[in-house]
Amino acid sequence: MALMTIAEALREGIREEMRRDPTVFCLGEDIGVPGGFGGAFTVTLGLSDEFGHNRILDTPISEIGIAGVAIGAAMTGMRPIADVQYGDFLFCMMDQLANQAAKMTYMSGGTVKVPLVMRAPVGSTRRGSQHAQSLEAFFTHIPGLKVLAPSTAYDAKGLLKSAIRDENPVLIFEHKLLYGSKGGRSEKGALSPIGEVPDEDYTVPIGKGAIRRVGKDVTIVGKLLTVYRALEAAEELAKEGIEAEVIDPRTLIPLDKELILESVRKTGRLVVVEEDNLTHGWGAEIAAIVAEEAFFYLDAPIKRVASLDTPPPFAPPMEAYYLPSVERVIAAVKSQF
């Protein structure tokens, strides 16, 4: 057992899978250049020393190309892990993800598989509008993609390994404030959770959520950074006698719907917290599922806490106002009592 940050856990996961399986390789911008960053958040730092520059493959700034190359390699016997420097750049490769990767197995009648992994950092971190968005909901809306959102070091490594071994295209969203990246790539305001990660080989199954805090009065569902915002809110609420249960779905597609429903049947209240902006978002989907399948267990209207319906602003006061704060989570819960 070792204590690791999420960036370290992801790095070890990649390292172990590349040792285990010669078809696994990484590609992306600035991931292996000697003297470079090891990816924007240091996840691949040092891996080219062990695996060389053919398997830690630096690419041109060509996001369509990165996605297309990963798809073509995956369809012909390789298991690529593509590094997207900032999640926002996924929009540049949208055709390859939405029209190609997601549909290839389906439109070939199940004769072709696309076992690729795409890792993308999300979250607003004082970089303005184009290096800040939380994009999960765009991809959970595309049948054919699996979408993961690990929030702990243990899950990051275990889910990454499951993703690499999966026969489908898997997107892994990682939050910039959770990586624990060090040195010049460390982030202001980061939480950098450090967690215990087993030394032996293990995986976290895709499609299983986790209860992060047990409670009886309200269910708070968060993902990535908002799991921690929810936990902080829960501690505050406990001081006032409200015991919140905090659920981290860990994988968004497929979703562990039953875990959420079971919790809501127990607590009778649901608050969904996400960093994406509100309208037509992931939180709306979770709310709809609960409204459709556990309506008669609800004691109060479902509440969603999300970023505002604006692009992510730059200046710290505006950014803080835009994001779903602990205070907004507390207020949402209290409004249900």
Residue 47 engages other proteins in binding (rule: CB under 8 A): no
Strand pairing class (79-83; 117-122):
parallel
Q: Which of 1, 34, 35, 76 binds other proteins (CB under 8 A)?
A: 76
Burial class (CB in 10 A: 0-12, 13-18, 19+), 86: buried
Please state the closest distance from residue 322 (CB atom) to other proteins, in A. Answer: 32
User: How many residues touch other proteins (CB under 8 A)?
Assistant: 42
Q: Which of 47, 56, 73, 234 binds other proteins (CB under 8 A)?
A: 73
Please state the closest distance from residue 117 (CB atom) to other proteins, in A. Answer: 14
- Closest CB to other proteins among residues 13, 144: 144
Residue 315 engages other proteins in binding (rule: CB under 8 A): no
Which residues ranging from 137 to 196 are in contact with other proteins (CB under 8 A)?
143-144, 146, 167-168
Please state the closest distance from residue 267 (CB atom) to other proteins, in A. Answer: 32
- Closest CB to other proteins among residues 5, 100: 100
Beta strands in 79-175 (DSSP E): 79-83, 117-122, 146-148, 170-175
Closest CA to 255 of 203, 231, 290, 230: 290
Which residues ranging from 213 to 272 are in contact with other proteins (CB under 8 A)?
none
Listed ranges 9-17, 53-61, 185-193, 214-222: which one lies at the site for other proteins (CB under 8 A): 53-61
Alpha-carbon span 276 to 252, nearest angstrom: 14
Alpha-carbon span 220 to 222, nearest angstrom: 6
Asked if residues 251 and 209 have their Cβ atoms less than 8 Å apart, the reply is: yes
CA angle 275, 328, 307 (to 5 degrees): 25
Cα 262 to Cα 39, 211, 245, 269, 291: the distances in Å are 39, 11, 11, 11, 13
The structure tokens listed for 154 are: 């243990």
Please state the closest distance from residue 9 (CB atom) to other proteins, in A. Answer: 26
Q: Which of 1, 35, 54, 200 binds other proteins (CB under 8 A)?
A: 54
Residue 48 engages other proteins in binding (rule: CB under 8 A): no
Q: Which of 2, 3, 64, 288 binds other proteins (CB under 8 A)?
A: 64
Q: What share of the chain is helix, strand, coil (3-state, %, to 5)?
A: 40, 20, 40
Cα 185 to Cα 72, 81, 119, 168, 284: the distances in Å are 32, 21, 17, 31, 34
User: Which contiguous run of DSSP H or E holds residue 326?
Assistant: helix 326-334
Asked if residues 234 and 215 have their Cβ atoms less than 8 Å apart, the reply is: yes
Q: Which of 21, 46, 106, 216 binds other proteins (CB under 8 A)?
A: 106
Catalytic residue among 131, 141, 175, 280: 131
Listed ranges 6-14, 31-39, 76-84, 120-128: which one lies at the site for other proteins (CB under 8 A): 76-84
Closest CA to 244 of 261, 226, 266: 266
- 272-291 footprint of other proteins as x/- string (CB under 8 A): --------------------
Q: Please indicate whether residue 131 is annotated as part of the active site.
A: yes
- Closest CB to other proteins among residues 107, 315: 107
Residue 70 engages other proteins in binding (rule: CB under 8 A): yes
Residue 20 engages other proteins in binding (rule: CB under 8 A): no
Give the residue numbers annotated as catalytic, written as ranges: 131
Give the footprint of other proteins on this chain (CB under 8 A).
Answer: 23, 25, 54, 59-60, 62, 64-65, 67-78, 80, 95-96, 99-100, 104-115, 143-144, 146, 167-168
